[in-house]
Structure 1
Amino acid sequence: MPVPEEPPRTGAHARGPDAPVEVRRSRRRSRTVSAWREGDVTVVAIPAGFTRSQEREWVGRMVARLAAQEGRRRPSDAQLASRATDLSRRYLGGRAVPTSVRWSSNQGRRWGSCTPTDGTIRISDRVRGMPRWVLDYVLLHELVHLLVPGHGPDFWAELATYPHTGRARGFLEGYGYAQDRGPRPSPDGADEPPGDDEDDVDA
């Protein structure tokens, strides 16, 4: 008679191809499986009743899906510069022409920065992986600074051409607030995914 597999405890760690994976079992889940990043750790939330073989299958599947999703959301420096050029042409008539646009890890709490004197734009690594319309807003925000100093009426008038300005600002404010508060565990010990940075499928 085969011995039934014993499910590992909630919070067990495995290792994916590029980063450690934490498996969280939830009694509230019956069919759905979710995956998201928490810093350098990939979190995969699965139903509590999954066997070890089901866990291995779904961890591998979700890590691959999340990596593919992030690949679409995390452009290279060259792709970032190309996107900035496209946004300038589409919303600013091509008037904002940066000399360079790249990711930066030293932006502190800023989402991006612009140096009008030399035309350089730096986008915080924290924006990497956010929804495309949020990244576009941050890029446009810095592009407008090449045209208008400060945040006066003329600045916001330029940004008004982008239809997702209000939504993106709300997203960034909410994200910053959540980061300041830190994650809160759900009652059964499995944190809920943070929203736009997660991938959720039916098992």
Structure 2
Amino acid sequence: MTRPDPAGPDLAAPLPVVVVRSARRRRTVSADIRDGVLRVSIPGHFSASQEKHWVKRMVERMAQKYPTAPQIESDAPVPDLLLRAEDLARRFLDGRGVPARISWVTNQNSRWASATPAHRTIRLSHRLHGMPDWVVDYVILHEMAHLIEPSHSPAFWRLLTSYPRTETAKAFLDGAAFAAHRNLMDAGGGTGPMADS
């Protein structure tokens, strides 16, 4: 079982780099580490020199962001997370919303998590690692509620009323996102830097 490290992958040891060109991508560049490979996604129209510049920049950014040893190697399902989700569903959602698959990922930097109702999957951002259990529980419940009710409709929010710390967890995540945006989080501490939140 892979467990996320709050600081993420170690880029002191060079990782293989794969460049992914996208015709749909116009200006943005992103990077994520999966299965021990740094994937840099760039617009398809970038020149070779632009590609080289952005690969170098993203390698440097990831090395700054993740100064410790790699712990998240893939988005493989984590059995402990599935058991946790089953317990939360039983306690707060009348047993509904249990995902078929739930995993930690390193490529979600603007969301805490995501759910895909069609596949009944949940992906949790590595940025949640080190946060209080009641916050992570809220995020898991939030995503399981999306497996039942995909939009943020009144019916969706009613599903979360049984969790007693919903509002506190939302406030905690808002504070963490604010601090990350202002670079107030300690890169070596609990949640690590969380830019783009």
TM-score range, shorter chain: 0.5 to 0.7
Q: Deviations over 1:138-164 (max 9, x none)?
A: 000000001112101111110011000
The structure with more strand, counted as a fraction of residues: 1
Residues 39-78 of structure 1: pairs in structure 2 closer than 5 A: 40=66, 77-78=78-79
3-state SS of paired residue (2:162):
coil
**Larger C-alpha radius of gyration, 1 or 2?**
1
Pairwise CA distance, 1:78: 1.5
Counterpart Cα distance in 2 of 1:177 and 1:82: 31
Calculate percent identity across the aligned residue pairs.
46
- Counterpart residue number, 1:115: 116
Measured in 2, the distance between the counterparts of 1:146 and 1:163 equals 20
What is the letter of the counterpart of residue 132 of structure 2? P
Q: Could you tell me how far apart the structure 2 residues matched to 1:183 and 1:158 are?
A: 33
* Aligned residue number for residue 67 of structure 1: none
Shift of 1:41: 5.7
Q: How does 1:135-150 map to 2 (within 5 A)?
A: 135-150=136-151
2:174 alignment counterpart:
173
For 1:84, the equivalent position in structure 2 comes to 85
SS at match of 2:148: coil
Q: What letter matches 1:102 in structure 2?
A: S
User: Structure 2 CA distance, aligned partners of 1:179 and 1:124?
Assistant: 14
**Quick one: distance in 2 between partners of 1:114 and 1:105?**
15
Supply the AA of the counterpart residue of 2:94: G
| TM-score, with structure 2 as normaliser | 0.56
* Unaligned segments of structure 2, at least 5 residues: 1-9, 11-63, 69-76, 192-197
Q: Could you report, residue by residue, the CA deviation over 1:79-134 in whole angstroms, capped at 9, with x for unpaired residues? A: 11110110001100111121101101112210000000010110110001100000
- Output the aligned Cα RMSD: 2.7
Deviation at 1:183, TM superposition (A): 2.9
SS at match of 1:103: strand
1-structure distance, mates of 2:100, 2:107? 19
1:28-79 Cα distance to aligned partner (Å, 9 max, x none): xxxxxxxxxx95469xxxxxxxxxxxxxxxxxxxxxxxxxxxxxxxxx8221
Distance in 2 of aligned mates of 1:120 and 1:178: 29
Q: Following the alignment from structure 1 to structure 2, what is the Cα–Cα distance between the partners of residues 125 and 115? A: 18
| Superposition pairs of residues 129-140 of structure 1, within 5 angstroms | 129-140=130-141
Find the aligned partners of 2:173 and 2:99 in 1 and give their Cα distance. Answer: 23
Q: Secondary structure at the match of 1:102?
A: strand
Structure 2: how far apart are the matches of 1:117 and 1:130?
28
Give the residue type in structure 2 aligned to 1:134: V
